[in-house]
Amino acid sequence: MRKDWDAYFMDIAYKVAERSTCPRLRVGAVIVKDKRIKGTGYNGSPAKLPHCDDDGCYMINGHCKRTIHAEMNCLLETTPDERKGATIYVTHQPCTECQKLIITSGITRVVFSKAYEPEINWFDYAPHIEVIHLG
């Protein structure tokens, strides 16, 4: 049976996650508009800085602060026009900071696979954003 579009693009997000350089959690993201991939991102260190795989995770309050999140990297790779009305596929539910960036970016649909309960779910306050947990 042929996969639906959400399953197809989520599979690609998981493939993108394989590029992650943080062994704690490998996350991938894909921005799609009109069934076309506009950008991808994975969690990794800023350009020209050491990666967790090389120098270890930089932990503060149980979170690695060395990496840029997959969603942020994906947003940085796309233009405002590409994001407007687009869908972002993420292997894991976005954290509160990524949620705020997604809401502001013009993306109107978020599809994620693995649930993560952030301290605040900003998507609850953004009725213009459709959120789908594929589970």
3-state helix/strand/coil string of 46-115 = CCCCCCHHHHCCCEECCEECCCECHHHHHHHCCCHHHHCCCEEEEEECCCHHHHHHHHHHCCCEEEEEEC
Comparing CA positions, the residue from 84, 14, 63 lying closest to residue 42 is: 14
Beta strands in 1-135 (DSSP E): 28-33, 36-42, 59-60, 63-64, 87-92, 109-114, 130-133
User: How far apart, in whole angstroms, are the C-alpha atoms of residue 53 and residue 38?
Assistant: 27
71 is catalytic: yes
Residue positions annotated with a catalytic role = 71
